Amino acid sequence: MPKGEGTEIIIGPAGGQVRFWRDLWRYRELFAFLTWRDILVRYKQTAIGVAWSLIRPLVTMAAFSLVFGKLAGLSSGDSPYPLLVYAALLPWQFFAVAIADSGNSLVNNAQLVTKVYFPRLIVPVNSVVVGLVDFLVSLGVYAVRTT
């Protein structure tokens, strides 16, 4: 057999779960850097910046309020229907964005994942934290609106 043919190199932590959690702690600066980079890209590379995290749930709330509140005539009891819809939309949009972005992050960072060793969990969790920033901005609007 020629040299290099049929061999497989597996890059991974030695020592099991204890080593894995230690590595996560050891690579916390990489996690912080990747998170900061993605937040900057999300808000600096768009024309509307932070407003995007406000516009998306507000437009969805308006559409749901129109369709289900006005056209379908669904009741919300004593609370305003748009606030009820907004309260339900926030966690759902966070969940949907977190799932979609975490899957896409592995594909977008494939060159980084395959070249060097670091805990691979950093990449998808990083994208979830970036979605959490959007969620917190939208939650701030909800908190202001309900007070």
User: At residue 58, what is the residue type?
Assistant: L
Q: Is the pLDDT of residue 16 over 80?
A: no
With 0-12 CB in 10 A as exposed, 13-18 as middle and 19+ as buried, what is 48? exposed
Q: Retrieve residue 35's tokens.
A: 């998170």
Residue 99: the pLDDT is: 94
Contact of 138 with 54, CB cutoff 8 Å = yes
| Summary mean pLDDT of the chain | 83
**What's the average model confidence in pLDDT over 140-145?**
84
Please report the pLDDT score of residue 13 as a whole number: 55
Q: What is the CA radius of gyration of the chain?
A: 21
Phi, psi at 83, each rounded to 5°? -70, -35
Least reliable range by pLDDT among 12-16, 27-31, 111-115, 130-134: 12-16
C-alpha distance across the termini of the chain, in Å: 74
- Whether the pLDDT of residue 33 is over 80: the answer is yes
Q: Is 47 helix (H, G, I), strand (E, B) or coil?
A: coil
Residues 6+ apart with CB under 8 A from 138: 53, 54, 57, 90, 93
Residues 85 and 65: beta-carbon distance below 8 Å:
yes
Of 138 and 43, more confident: 138
Contacts of 102 (CB under 8 A, 6+ apart): 124, 125, 127, 128
Beta strands in 21-142 (DSSP E): none
